[in-house]
Structure 1
Amino acid sequence: MADLRSLPVPEGLEGERLDAALARLFGFSRTRAAELIASGDVLVDGAAPAKSDRVRGGAWLDVTVPPPPSAPVAVAEPVPGMTVLYEDDDIVVVNKPIGVAAHPSVGWTGPTVIGGLLGAGHRVSTSGAAERQGIVHRLDANTTGAMVVAKSERAYTALKRAFKERTVEKRYHALVQGHMDPLRGTVDAPIDRHPSGDGRWAVVAGGKDSVTHYDTLEAFRSASLLDIRLETGRTHQIRVHMSALRHPCVGDLQYGADPTLAARLGVTRQWLHAVSLAFDHPATGEWVSFTTDYPADLAEALDRVGDDS
């Protein structure tokens, strides 16, 4: 059932854009606020406004919030190209291919890791929200590499704690534009949603603590191959931090990469791969480590950038 919320605009929001004011008042993203305005679910003093209108302190807002969509359900079907690196009674570690999300979400209609595991007959933990059972961490849909999923309830609890307490070692390789200066270092910059509300993330004052360690493995004429260790695990963290340094991941057009270089190297997504994952096994306490090779598209691009140098 839709939720009607009515209230006056606080004086402190005088002069704000309507979409920004709604975002601050109700905790929406600006994108969500703009959608509500466009669909006629927002009235200001009884009239339909534009998202760019400036609000007046004391103006009366009527906002109709539609009910949230029902949680999506994983489709149990095998995912081509997703291989199992290791499995026991507690965990399953996969090498996630390109174009596969960790779990179902609103708006995503492609394959998922959870659906692929279920479709191949694997059991996963029933802990967590229905659409993300067993998921203890995520990779972007177009980021490939090592990912662990909990099969038992004790594994889910232990791994969620390990990721929260930052005792999991997550290493990535990224091909970024240009040359890093210094060649190795740490990016300690908070991340939150991009102010534009367009779905991107950005370095934002007051955002969540985000720490990325990098080391240059090889420098080419137009790009550098980095070994990256994440201390935190924010959404798009590596992509955001590299973009903030003006060295976006090759092919990451969403975060400012050069489309000409991407085309020359044949890259159609961000050059970013989760090469290894290590943690205390949730049942035995033994330190376990899993590594993955580059997929074909990233390996080919790396060969090409080397040939250009």
Structure 2
Amino acid sequence: MEKILHIVREDQAGERIDKLITSLEEDWSRTQVQEWIKDGVVSVNGNKPKANYKCETGDKLVINVPDPVPLNVEPEEMNLDIYYEDSDVLVVNKPRGMVVHPAPGHVTGTLVNGLLAHCKDLSGINGVMRPGIVHRIDKDTSGLLMVAKNDFAHECLVEQLVEKSVTRKYEAIVHGVIPHDYGTVDAPIGRDKNDRQKMAVVDNGKHAVTHFRVLERFQDYTHIECELETGRTHQIRVHMKYIGYPLAGDPKYGPRKTLEIDGQALHAGVLGFIHPRKKEYMEFRAPLPQEFLVLLEQLRMNL
């Protein structure tokens, strides 16, 4: 068990204790923190608080963080849409609605569960929860992912991501009609100070660059292609909202009145990288999923 001490600053006074504690660590969820408070592992000035306690300047918070419960990641037979595979690398087309790797609350039905049933040799660099996972795409984003089958391949692919030499192109439908054909968003991304479950453009964020071009314009929407220069969490979703064109269907960053789609209209359609061992450039393309195509047809009918 890890003991964490925090003294409430003046700018944090008046904030609910569960919200304040959640903001201390990126990996802590509000629900998780509320459970800790209920279980009595959090104290304020030596007393056990309620989750809605309003903190005061100088309050001494002690959090006895429980040891994580080890999760068993079990192989699950799945009909994976594999685009390429050899002894080093695997490229898979992830469907919308599938989580990439297990986490508390999501220990089954993830892409990793399916990969473990498909092949026994996955890199161990990211530990037992994320074997082989070099990069991620969000649960409700469909498209291509590269998976490392050994540590040599993993290190090589991560190096390419760091060097920004991996090709990653996405198609998206956004709210609003973008007047210009091309654009670049160069704005740093970090944790939203008002909502730790969101990312935002912030002054002290990590460098993030997204290039986009217009593919088709509709009455109130635009179909675009985005190319990532960097790979920050929710990068396209945050950047497009920042410039006033949020993704259609995005429950976290978009407006409530939107297209009928379960999650953001975003598809990772093009993935290119240099093979770790062959040293040859490889590029893969996954067509738009059916529900994305249906949306485009509906928008064309409303022109």
- TM-score when scaled to structure 1? 0.87
Q: Distance in 2 between matches of 1:155 and 1:116?
A: 20
| Structure 2 SS opposite 1:255 | coil
Name which of 189, 212, 223 aligns with 1:191: 189
> How far is the alpha carbon of 1:302 from its aligned partner?
1.3
2:194 is aligned with 1:200 = no
| Alignment partner of 1:285 is 2:279 | yes
Distance 1:277 1:13, change over 3 A: same
SS of the aligned residue for 2:159 comes to helix
Partner of 1:68: 68
Q: CA deviation at 1:117?
A: 2.2
| 1:85-104 correspondence runs (5 A) | 85-104=83-102
SS in 2 for 1:135: coil
Residues 241 and 254 of structure 2 are in contact (CA less than 8 Å); yes or no, is this contact kept in structure 1?
yes
Matched, 1:262 2:256: no
**Partner SS for 1:298:** helix
Which residue identity is paired with 2:73? A
- Mind listing any 5+ residue stretches in structure 2 that lack a counterpart? none
Alignment check: 8 A CA contact 2:22 2:196 kept = no
Deviations 1:59-79 (Å, cap 9, x if unpaired)? 333322222232x34331232
1:307 has 2:297 as partner: no
Distance 1:290 1:198 in 2: 35
Does 1:297 pair with 2:291?
Answer: yes
How many pairs align?
Answer: 301
Q: Superposition pairs for residues 1-309 of structure 1, below 5 Å? A: 2-6=1-5, 9=7, 15=13, 17=15, 18-19=17-18, 21-22=20-21, 29=28, 31=30, 33-51=33-51, 53-70=53-70, 72-80=71-79, 82-121=80-119, 123-197=121-195, 199-259=197-257, 261-263=258-260, 267-309=261-303
8 Å contact 1:214–1:228 — kept in the other structure?
yes
Q: What secondary structure, in the 3-state scheme, does the structure 1 residue paired with 2:161 have?
A: helix
Partners of 1:212 and 1:12 lie apart in 2 by 37
Q: How far did 1:220 drift?
A: 0.9
C-alpha RMSD of matched pairs (Å): 2.5
SS of the counterpart of 1:262?
Answer: coil
8 Å contact kept, 2:248–2:254: no
Q: What is the alpha-carbon distance in structure 1 between the residues aligned to residue 12 and residue 246 of structure 2?
A: 37
CA shift for structure 1 position 181: 4.1
Q: Percent identity?
A: 34
8 Å Cα contact 2:8/2:55 also seen in 1: no
1:250–1:270 contact (8 Å) kept in structure 2:
yes
Cα deviation per residue 1:240-274 (whole Å; 9 max; x = unaligned)?
11122221111112212343x323xxx11211000
- CA 1:220/1:36 → structure 2, altered by over 3 Å: closer, same or farther? same
Q: Which amino acid aligns with 1:195?
A: K
Residues 137-170 of structure 1: per-residue CA shift (max 9 Å, x gap): 1111111111110113221110011112211111
Would the aligned equivalents of 1:100 and 1:110 in 2 still touch at CA under 8 Å? no
- The 10-residue stretch of structure 1 (184-193 or 39-48) with the greater mean CA deviation from structure 2: 39-48
Structure 1 residue runs of 5 or longer lacking an equivalent are none
Contact 1:13 1:55 in 2 (8 A): no
Match of 1:282, as an amino acid? P
Q: CA deviation at 1:107?
A: 1.7
Change (3 A) 1:161 1:3: same
Q: Does the 8 Å contact 2:8/2:61 carry over to 1?
A: no
* Structure 2 CA distance for partners of 1:126 and 1:41, relative to 1, 3 Å: closer
Amino acid across the alignment from 1:42: V
Give TM-score, length-normalised by structure 2.
Answer: 0.88
- Shift in CA distance, 21/270, structure 1 to aligned 2, threshold 3 Å: closer
